């Protein structure tokens, strides 16, 4: 992934995140991907790791979820959107 330190990432919904924030989220996802199991549903906090997620502020966790959705939509991760849970959180599965 190319990171331009001067331009924020434009996420769906009108959200912008800094390249540094996107890079940090992507790095954490890349660490965790090998631990995921096929045919299992994962929320963003499961993919990023519950300890990592717990260390995020509320707005950071929301933006991390948007970053994950952005990366999945662009096909940059071996994950697919698998719908929503009753609590409205998006779930993903390994491709």
Question: Is 4 among the domain residues?
Answer: no
Res 73: pLDDT: 94
Dihedral of alpha carbons 16, 20, 24, 27, sign: positive
CATH of the domain at 77: 1.10.10
Res 17: pLDDT: 94
Res 12: pLDDT: 84
Res 5: pLDDT: 58
Report yes or no: 28 and 52 within 8 Å, Cβ to Cβ: yes
Question: Is 1 among the domain residues?
Answer: no
Tens digit of each residue's pLDDT, the chain (95 residues): 445 557 898 998 899 999 999 999 999 999 999 999 999 999 999 999 999 999 999 999 999 999 999 999 999 999 999 999 999 889 999 99
Question: Is 68 among the domain residues?
Answer: yes
Q: What is the DSSP letter of 86?
A: T
Q: How many domains does the chain have?
A: 1
């Amino acid at each position: 992934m190319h990171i331009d330190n001067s331009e924020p990432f434009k996420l769906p919904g009108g959200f912008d995140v800094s390249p540094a924030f996107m890079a940090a989220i992507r790095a954490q996802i890349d660490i965790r991907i090998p631990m995921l199991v096929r045919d299992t549903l994962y929320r963003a906090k499961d993919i990023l790791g519950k300890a990592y997620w717990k260390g995020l502020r509320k707005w950071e966790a929301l933006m991390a979820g948007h970053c994950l959705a952005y990366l999945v939509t662009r096909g940059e991760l071996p994950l697919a959107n698998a719908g929503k849970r009753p609590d409205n959180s998006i779930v993903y599965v390994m491709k």
